[in-house]
């Protein structure tokens, strides 16, 4: 894998409004139809202005870092998240904002992970992509890219308006670690069920300042490690002891996202409770997350969740699964913490991912 740098020719004079770094990882947004091969292939980003001529009108300095070969987002790994964090960290002082072009299928996972890795962020990191390739006539890539760049460049009183990792798609700007892909066939692909949009776009970009994270007072810091010894267990009626046991007793497992019913409810059968209790006893950090797109876990509200609370399962409040899995990775990667300290950190609102 290599990173190729491309400078984009825009209308920016010697004193541009902003300098933006675009990081292209792959995905539909950067695909064109190859007439010879008869399938979609990644296009050369040095030719981006041919597909989005509006870029020439920007009074921005635009630079592209293109990951080669391009990644299908289904293949994105923890190492790719760490690479993105490193690239942003290395270029943090050179640019006013960042736009990450990414496949939609795992965009919410990647945006969530970056939110934890980039601590005390004071500049926008805007993820965007497309449902239709940029080479197609009815593509949504152009509008998504253009607006993402505008958001990344926008300042108020000399400071970035959106100092956080977010996703722009269709006409909504969403907090990255509150987002979820909900559509595979329509342009409005992302939703944030438990948190309002940071901005909505129409004729103008209308920012909801009260929902945007405040500028941090501490210096920016990049974290370079995540612990991938984690798993997700989604409960379903009829789940067997063998299935649960195979996950909880996976070699090296240190953390588990437990996707429960409703407000955090789970079976009360003896075999299930025994397996969970034994996992907690072994020090596995278990985070209870609701399968619902909206609402929150309230352990102890019903008898079917009280037993989880009593045995030491951590309630995830209104966190999404996408944000929970990388939060577990982040918490487990923090060195020198005891199990109770990790539980305490897991329950904190670190980057706006939960409502306390």
DSSP 122-184: -S-EEEE--SS-TTSTT-SHHHHHHHHHHHHH-EETTEES--SEEEEETTEEEEGGG-EE--S
Is position 73 annotated in a ligand binding site? yes
DSSP 216-237: PSSPPEE-------EEEEE--T
Q: Which of these is catalytic: 10, 25, 63, 104? A: 104
Q: Is 128 tagged catalytic?
A: no
CA 341, CA 336: separation in Å to the nearest integer? 9
Q: Is 329 helix (H, G, I), strand (E, B) or coil?
A: helix
Flag whether 105 is marked binding: yes
Q: Which of 234, 102, 227 is nearest to 176 (CA)?
A: 102
Tell me the three state secondary structure of residue 15: coil
Query: What is the distance between the alpha carbons of residues 166 and 98, in angstroms, rounded to a whole number?
Result: 11
CB 283 within 8 A of CB 343: no
Please say if 28 is a catalytic residue.
yes
| Residue 318 known to bind ligand | no
Residue 57: name the closest of 12, 7, 6, 8 by CA: 12
Q: Which residue has the tokens 């890539």?
A: 141
Q: Give the residue numbers annotated as catalytic, written as ranges.
A: 28, 104
Residues annotated within a binding site for substrate: 73, 104-105
Residues annotated within a binding site: 73, 104-105
């Amino acid at each position: 894998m290599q990173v190729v740098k491309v400078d984009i020719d825009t209308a920016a004079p010697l004193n541009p409004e902003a300098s933006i770094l675009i990081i292209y990882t792959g995905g539909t947004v950067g695909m064109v139809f190859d007439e010879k091969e008869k399938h979609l292939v990644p296009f050369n980003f040095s030719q981006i202005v041919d597909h989005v001529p509006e870029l020439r009108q920007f009074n921005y300095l635009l630079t592209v870092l293109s990951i080669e070969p391009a990644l299908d987002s289904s293949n994105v790994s923890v190492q790719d998240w760490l690479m993105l964090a490193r690239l942003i960290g290395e270029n943090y002082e050179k640019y006013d904002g960042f736009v990450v072009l990414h496949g939609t299928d795992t965009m919410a996972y990647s945006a969530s992970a970056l939110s934890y890795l980039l601590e005390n962020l004071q500049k926008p990191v805007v993820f965007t992509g497309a449902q239709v390739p940029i080479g197609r006539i009815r593509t949504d890539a152009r509008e998504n890219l253009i607006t993402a760049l505008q958001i990344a460049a926008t300042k108020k009183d000399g400071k970035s308006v959106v100092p956080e990792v977010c996703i722009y798609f269709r006409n909504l700007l969403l907090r990255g670690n509150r987002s979820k892909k909900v559509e595979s066939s329509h342009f409005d692909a992302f939703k944030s069920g438990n948190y309002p949009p940071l901005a909505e776009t129409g004729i103008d970009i209308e920012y909801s300042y009260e929902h945007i994270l405040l500028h941090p007072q501490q210096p920016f810091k990049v974290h370079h490690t995540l612990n991938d010894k984690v798993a997700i267990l989604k409960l379903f009626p009829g789940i067997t002891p063998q299935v649960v046991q195979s996950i909880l007793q996976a070699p090296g497992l240190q953390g588990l996202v437990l996707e429960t019913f409703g407000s955090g409810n789970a079976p009360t059968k003896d075999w299930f409770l025994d397996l969970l209790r034994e996992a907690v006893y072994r020090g596995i950090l278990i985070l209870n997350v609701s399968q619902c797109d909206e609402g929150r876990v309230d352990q102890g509200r019903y008898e079917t969740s009280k037993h989880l609370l009593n045995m030491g399962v951590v309630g995830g409040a209104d966190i999404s699964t996408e944000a929970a899995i990388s939060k577990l990775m982040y918490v487990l990667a923090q060195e020198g913490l005891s199990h109770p300290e990790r539980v305490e950190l897991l329950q904190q609102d670190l980057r706006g991912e939960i409502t306390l």
